[in-house]
Structure 1
Amino acid sequence: MGELFEHSETPIVITERDRVTIANLAARGLLGSHILGQDARMALRQPEAVRLLDRDADGSAIVRGLSRRNDIWRINRKKLDDQLAVVEFVNKTAEADIARAHTDFVANASHELRTPLAAIIGYVETLSEDAGNLETKTAERFLDTIQREAKRLQNLVSDLMSLSRIEAEKHDLPSARIELSGLVESAARDGAGNERLDRLDVATSGQFFIRGDAQQLEQLVRNLVDNALKYGHADQPVTIRLHPRGDNRVRLTVTDRGDGIAAEHIPHLTRRFYRTDPGRSRASGGTGLGLAIVKHIVERHRGRLDVESTVGEGTRVTVTLPLDSEELGN
């Protein structure tokens, strides 16, 4: 029986009269090799698990902190006869983390959607109730606010839909062969728009072919350029460079010259709705999803994303992508 369970990925323990007689490799890794021969209740030392074993019947229990502080396990016990029982340990930590992430995402999205909606509803109600008493300039200011908040709401919904689509496709490798230099130059101009075009400094060192999704890569470049232009100083250029990285990769860098980002924020920048300066981000029309979208696009293309920043000097975002094998002559 021990040989049957030894290499199962699920930790499994066989008890005889509640004493551990067999523990497979996964169980020994989870609980330690010393559990062999021990009373199972002493080996587990969890009130929920002890109550399960004391009932001397089939059943299950949820146990927290079995091997690490925040882990969650379901323990299933099945009696084989009057003396023998199988105890199985099912790791539910990842499932709980996913559920918690979904809950947090819904809560954050609801909050982000509620803010512009409240502003729109409030100003519309004021215009409806006091339209005859409002001066033209005041009414125009109200309408400008409604338009701005509606645009913000539209951008947020658009980014949420983009993130959902990208996450749904993250395991599907892109198949189209794309020339990256022309795409980067075009998408950078789109991200800047006519009013900020003079701040762009774009240069590429040749043609680079990759396997990719053109629409997603364009969105990646637009998001990075838009962020750099928003948070870089208005009188300073944003530098976009595309050049080889070794023999089989290509590197895109987008550099701004702005206030920079404190080191403690760097690891959290790709989290959904994370903002280093919430007031400034919302005022500039940011949704807090731009870098989260970039991260998922980079992951789908089997690339790497790096962010470097120096407070008072600016920020550089680097995306490294694999070249297409045909480009390498394979």
Structure 2
Amino acid sequence: MERSVIHNLIAALPVAVVAVDHEARVSAANVAASALLGENLTDRPFVTVLRHPVVVQAVDAVLDPAHVSLPVPDPTLAAVGSGGYRNRVIISARGRDIPAEVTVSALPDRIGALVVIEDSSGIEEAEQQRRDFVANVSHELRTPLTAMIGFIETLRGPARDDAAARDRFLSIMETEAARMNRLVMDLLSLSRVESEERRRPAEAVDLTMIIGAVVATLTPHAEAHNVNISLIGAENEALVTGDPDQLTQVFHNLVENAVKYGGSGGEVRLELSRIRHEPALRGPAIAVAVIDRGEGIDEMHLPRLTERFYRVDNHRSRQQGGTGLGLAIVKHIIGRHRGRLRIESVKGQGSRFTVILPAKRDRR
């Protein structure tokens, strides 16, 4: 097989592929391999391109199976096809360690070998996120469950005939049960939003109606906290393509958070504006800013606010009934609508959460 033919074949592959000749020198490498391992790979000894002993030995064994043997047993090694090997290894590339699956297989007539390198760091990260998620959910449920079990044992024992203690404990148990119920509902909501994230909504929605309904719903709650909610710029229709229930959830969450955590400023303001051309969305857009004059958020927390279970103040958030999932749900819903969420805050000066959605265009 000619070198040019090999080069053309591997150039079309989306993963990193390196072709090695019978002398274990690189004869061809595709763009993905250059991006991963560096430029100018051809005509170099393979051992200088990918310095991993197991992979190098696998290449040697494929090139000369009669005289090269591999360490046995090797937990990273698996035989594939006729005289090929697959290895799960950590490789050093571009100054960092990358988990990868490397497959070494022979070219026809033993004229060389193909080395395919599949970066599995995304899989590793997803698995770590799954483990972290399970650990966080377990922790969030364990705390109220432990408290409730303790109260039940007390009510069955020392406080069996103590009416005052019984009422106090039952009140706390009711609060903890409600918090667990909110957590379960938010988990279900997050799962549903993630499952629909790749399906764009198709319904025409008027944001002024959505926001007006949210303000009307939360006004009694705000008044109970001595907070005034005002709405600016909602006099005219503001159409987007969206899911009305999910958009209601977004603004309900943002306004409720503003009242809870920024209500010390006594005011929460919603500003709706129309943008003729939003560069991030490449077209006209509608922006809704939820602004409070509360304590604000330290700049160091802003990049992580939409992470699951991330809280600026764990104790205060739990006291307020927060589950730590609200902004993660908001982020996914806005992502489904191909929008953007901008968070700005200055400690001591309040916060601004701005939702930017593509405006619905007339099809005339």
Q: Same fold, TM exceeding 0.5?
A: yes
Residue 97 of structure 1, aligned match among 100, 125, 132: 125
| Deviations, residues 120-156 of structure 1 (Å, cap 9, x unaligned) | 221122112234342x222211111001101100111
| 1:19 maps onto 2:30 in alignment | no
- Give the equivalent residue in structure 2 for 1:221: 251
Aligned ranges 1:1-330 → 2 under 5 Å: 1-17=6-22, 18-56=24-62, 57-68=83-94, 69-80=96-107, 81-134=109-162, 136-190=163-217, 192=218, 194-197=220-223, 199-203=228-232, 204-234=234-264, 236-246=266-276, 248-326=284-362, 330=364
Letter in 1 for 2:170: L
SS in structure 1 at match of 2:322: coil
SS in structure 1 at match of 2:323: coil
TM-score (norm 2): 0.85
CA contact (8 A) 1:205 1:243 kept: no
Identical positions, percent: 37
SS in structure 1 at match of 2:40: helix
SS in structure 1 at match of 2:103: strand
| Deviations, residues 259-294 of structure 1 (Å, cap 9, x unaligned) | 110011000000000001000000110000111111
1:235 Cα shift? 5.7
TM-score (norm 1): 0.93
| Deviations, residues 195-218 of structure 1 (Å, cap 9, x unaligned) | 324521123241111111111001
CA contact (8 A) 1:259 1:314 kept: yes
Letter in 2 for 1:38: R
Report how many residues are paired: 326
CA distance in 2, matches of 1:159, 1:193: 23
Once the two structures are overlaid, the 10-residue window that deviates more, 263-272 or 202-211, is 202-211
Q: Mark the runs of 5 or more structure 1 residues left unpaired by the alignment.
A: none
CA distance in 2, matches of 1:255, 1:220: 14
1:53 Cα shift? 2.5
SS in structure 2 at match of 1:86: strand
SS in structure 2 at match of 1:33: coil
CA distance in 2, matches of 1:194, 1:183: 17
Distance 1:65 1:309, change over 3 A: farther
Q: Mark the runs of 5 or more structure 2 residues left unpaired by the alignment.
A: 1-5, 63-82, 278-283
Distance 1:119 1:189, change over 3 A: farther
1:240 Cα shift? 1.3
CA distance in 2, matches of 1:25, 1:241: 48
1:239 Cα shift? 0.8
CA distance in 2, matches of 1:298, 1:196: 25
- Give the equivalent residue in structure 1 for 2:67: none
Distance 1:24 1:138, change over 3 A: same
